[in-house]
Amino acid sequence: MVVSQTGEKDELVVHLGTQNPDIAQSNVAHVLGLPKSRVVVKMKRVGGAFGGKERMLHALIAAVAARKTNRQVRLVYTRYVVLT
């Protein structure tokens, strides 16, 4: 699940299950043309690598949609999509 929303001071807040929050922050900032300081990545403990937690495409899709619509975006994938 990914939730992206516009935060205070024109920040983008991305809630993401990932092993690499710093890479997610860099990628989202690059795609949106923002400085890294304007992108906040929040995550819970994710454990091991099972489930493809290193992929960033879904975070980029949600971030672009949230930025374009200025609304919260939530993407939920089926277990099959997450594991393949």
Q: Is 81 helix (H, G, I), strand (E, B) or coil?
A: helix
Question: What's the pTM?
Answer: 0.80
Given the candidates 3.50.50.60, 3.90.1150.10, 3.30.365.10, 3.40.50.2300, the CATH classification of the domain at 2-83 is 3.30.365.10
Rounded Cα gap, residues 68 and 46, in angstroms: 29
Nearest to 55 by CA among 12, 13, 84: 84
Q: Is the pLDDT of residue 6 over 80?
A: no
Q: What distances in angstroms separate CA 84 from CA 42, 51, 52, 64, one per listed residue?
A: 24, 8, 8, 24
Confidence (pLDDT) at 28: 93
DSSP letter (8 states) at residue 4? E
Confidence (pLDDT) at 48: 62
At 11-66, the pLDDT tens digits run 889 988 788 889 999 999 999 999 999 999 988 776 666 655 566 788 898 899 98
Confidence (pLDDT) at 18: 81
Confidence (pLDDT) at 57: 84
Confidence (pLDDT) at 35: 94
